[in-house]
Structure 1
């Protein structure tokens, strides 16, 4: 388990008072920076919308400095220099390049933040770890199933820290939900329902294409990488999530967050069976990724998971969880957790009011003999418990705080490669089921299709 925020700040203050303190790696682990007070030199690989957003959150953690950026579009490199380059408060002479391998060759880079299109996740992460860099890898960890074992084995063989970027695993709200479920707040869990609906062009991945987009300003061959070789296409470059050659559809973009949250809260390693349906219902613009996806999953712990994404929901963006148990429900909405308890009736099937007066008396006597501590009216009782994260709280920042804590201490992160593969592997079962038109099976322990 990584350091929590309070412990992390305490370690930082102690280090400030004793800068000569040395933090040694555990036997067999890669060497750590010489002190928890050292600045972590960070590089960004993939400076699009998500990459820039991630970097803003990462730089809110003290003791972190951005020193290099790689991207296949010149305009993003220029913009990163404007945001974080020479002359800013960061006092950084920011190095920029189209080729991330130039960043990996730099000895001043300790860790990289990878926010490339999905089809580059594995190669960039493996190359970074082999170059001795720790890795924060955006979700989904994989684009295709063979990516997972290679990333896991590389993290182990190189002794590098790899954390996957699904921030709910570091959320105080999700930690509270985990605690409540384990305490029996809603009884025995039997079903989890989650959704992430949208109804905007931007939310459906129709990101803007810069006016200067061209083969001259964009490194199209490098962007394609292992993907099929096709002629220059600005929409594919800037709106890559719409095509399976580069992205993983709504399953890889959004379902994976819901799986990460479910697995963190329940402690499960994943489902054993998946059945999905959906299709292109509105955004028939040349994309091959469905804009509506529904999926059902069986879990060996005895509950079912129901997931939904709809890019044409006719309303505002909506996202949340509902955990249903034998004694109540627990809902997560944003950074708020609400528990409603509704204990089950002890004598199901009828109420006292259906009897005659004499029968009511006889029933009460029999009932209280059998259940002396629970009056018949107990079924009408509800109790509500509500938890909300502090105002201004950011689980994105906490997720980076946890990552940098792991970089310093060499402790395993809150969302390591195995956790990341189990979340992404489960999510991509939806695509596989939809493609095959049938249920598919998965072994969450071995992380393999059955």
Structure 2
């Protein structure tokens, strides 16, 4: 029981412990810590895959059984780091093909940190193998993938937590509880969301031989096979629509998902979007550098804007959302929130919580987002609580699907140049045959697109 005690004591010292206890409900930490460690596998050992895994290892007893990646160098490095952090000191089994990993390893939990175009197949296969899944956002690259993932989660009765950890960000939980839920905003009738980060990779690297340590065929999987022009890891793959949904699918999903959680919104009634490549035309990138979208609800529009060039509209909130109510405005980002009451009164502000002193190992971790680490730890605890109790996590696959699909539909609206209305019960866009044909992307052989009616 020693490991359990250490984890429990260590977590209770953290600044976000009280939030976790209130979120987890009756039983508190007893629903998390258990004598038998969870057996864990990770698919995709890059930057955020490792980050998610390390946060899980910090808050609960786990044994990392297996790692999978198509990049041998990345896989070897991850294995070394994991063996150093594991209390057992054991090195995990290493795999190139996630299907073999799922077949050979009896796992309780699978974390998926692969690029977006792999999320659907890997999640569904992991669910079929009997595991619970933590999958990074966005959950899918097309709407029908998301429908199939949701159907699979329900069919196999497993917990799927999506990596939209803003819902577990301590200062945002506080903003929802103390500002929104107490009706300090009054009637809410407008929301603005934005991202002005210069995050769009836009180079012109030459086509080159695929290095021996990378299985580029397996990396590409069901996506179109682009000529190899350098390691796709981190920012490069995200600059191509072949593998994702641009800045809309990467950054808007976080803010839209958070806003929906904050003010209890479901599917938008109508979605429209315009944009394109207006400025950064010189490189290979084919994602929009400029885009706006409107997600329409009853008496409420949620408006998104991104630019990967120029200056932010509000330098203090370059990636953020602003909720406008008749009694005041709530501005919020990953770094802080600020409530400004209408007509005077005292503003309320709260900054992000760091846990450097409680988790000093964070300071030595390469490329860690220190501001996001407490949120991811809470997100993992919520995930484990749902596994233990048989309930739904705060970022359940259905919520992740709504947020992801809404962003995908915004891209389809931009592509078709008209508003779209999605009927999620019928899984089709209303009165638009052309747009319906875009709900499912073509898969490269031999991969087969999942069918939500038969997962």
- For the aligned pair, the TM-score class normalised by the smaller chain equals 0.7 to 0.9
TM-score (norm 2): 0.78
- TM-superposed CA distance for 1:206, in Å, is 6.7
- TM-superposed CA distance for 1:275, in Å, is 2.0
Indicate whether 1:228 and 2:224 are aligned: yes
Contact 1:12 1:37 in 2 (8 A): no
- Map 1:56-67 → 2, pairs under 5 A: 56-67=54-65
Deviates more, 1:400-409 or 1:229-238: 229-238
1:285 aligned counterpart, secondary structure: coil
Match of 1:245 among 236, 239, 242: 242
The alignment's C-alpha RMSD in Å is 2.9
- TM-superposed CA distance for 1:381, in Å, is 3.3
Residue in structure 2 matched with residue 196 of structure 1 by the alignment: 195
Rounded Cα–Cα distance in structure 2 between residues aligned with 1:432 and 1:14: 45
- TM-superposed CA distance for 1:314, in Å, is 4.2
Between structure 1 and structure 2, the one with the greater Rg is 1
Q: Check 1:446–1:183 CA distance in 2 against 1; reply closer, same or farther (3 A cut).
A: farther
Indicate whether 1:279 and 2:276 are aligned: yes
- TM-superposed CA distance for 1:340, in Å, is 1.6
2:58 aligned counterpart, secondary structure: coil
Q: Check 1:248–1:49 CA distance in 2 against 1; reply closer, same or farther (3 A cut).
A: same
Rounded Cα–Cα distance in structure 2 between residues aligned with 1:283 and 1:37: 56
Residue in structure 1 matched with residue 291 of structure 2 by the alignment: 293
2:395 aligned counterpart, secondary structure: coil
Match of 2:383 among 403, 409, 417: 403
- Map 1:128-167 → 2, pairs under 5 A: 128-167=126-165
Indicate whether 1:306 and 2:308 are aligned: no
Residue in structure 2 matched with residue 171 of structure 1 by the alignment: 169
Contact 2:31 2:388 in 1 (8 A): no
Residue in structure 2 matched with residue 381 of structure 1 by the alignment: 344
Contact 2:80 2:91 in 1 (8 A): no
Indicate whether 1:183 and 2:146 are aligned: no
Rounded Cα–Cα distance in structure 1 between residues aligned with 2:19 and 2:106: 27
1:226 aligned counterpart, secondary structure: coil
- TM-superposed CA distance for 1:289, in Å, is 0.8
- TM-superposed CA distance for 1:413, in Å, is 1.1
Residue in structure 2 matched with residue 85 of structure 1 by the alignment: 83
- TM-superposed CA distance for 1:176, in Å, is 2.7
Rounded Cα–Cα distance in structure 2 between residues aligned with 1:339 and 1:154: 40
Q: Which runs of 5+ in 2 are unaligned?
A: 1-17, 356-370, 431-455
Contact 1:112 1:134 in 2 (8 A): yes
2:347 aligned counterpart, secondary structure: strand
- TM-superposed CA distance for 1:98, in Å, is 0.8
- TM-superposed CA distance for 1:419, in Å, is 0.7
Indicate whether 1:268 and 2:248 are aligned: no
Rounded Cα–Cα distance in structure 2 between residues aligned with 1:154 and 1:172: 31
- Map 1:71-82 → 2, pairs under 5 A: 71-82=69-80
- TM-superposed CA distance for 1:386, in Å, is 2.8
Residue in structure 1 matched with residue 256 of structure 2 by the alignment: 259
Rounded Cα–Cα distance in structure 1 between residues aligned with 2:248 and 2:294: 13
Rounded Cα–Cα distance in structure 2 between residues aligned with 1:168 and 1:154: 25
Deviates more, 1:312-321 or 1:140-149: 312-321
Indicate whether 1:51 and 2:35 are aligned: no
Deviates more, 1:428-437 or 1:332-341: 332-341
Rounded Cα–Cα distance in structure 1 between residues aligned with 2:425 and 2:231: 39
Contact 1:188 1:325 in 2 (8 A): yes
Rounded Cα–Cα distance in structure 2 between residues aligned with 1:309 and 1:248: 13
- TM-superposed CA distance for 1:112, in Å, is 0.6
- TM-superposed CA distance for 1:13, in Å, is 6.3
Rounded Cα–Cα distance in structure 2 between residues aligned with 1:129 and 1:108: 12
Rounded Cα–Cα distance in structure 1 between residues aligned with 2:259 and 2:133: 24
Rounded Cα–Cα distance in structure 2 between residues aligned with 1:434 and 1:77: 38
Contact 1:198 1:311 in 2 (8 A): yes
Q: Check 1:327–1:162 CA distance in 2 against 1; reply closer, same or farther (3 A cut).
A: same
Map Cα deviations across residues 383-418 of structure 1 (whole Å, 9 max, x no partner).
323344544372111111111222222221111121
Map Cα deviations across residues 338-392 of structure 1 (whole Å, 9 max, x no partner).
22221xxxxxxxxxxxxxxxxxxxxxxxxxxxxxxxxxxxxx5333233445443
Residue in structure 1 matched with residue 112 of structure 2 by the alignment: 114
- TM-superposed CA distance for 1:237, in Å, is 6.2
Rounded Cα–Cα distance in structure 1 between residues aligned with 2:209 and 2:70: 11
Rounded Cα–Cα distance in structure 1 between residues aligned with 2:329 and 2:189: 10
- TM-superposed CA distance for 1:4, in Å, is 5.8
Q: Check 1:261–1:447 CA distance in 2 against 1; reply closer, same or farther (3 A cut).
A: farther
- TM-superposed CA distance for 1:204, in Å, is 2.4
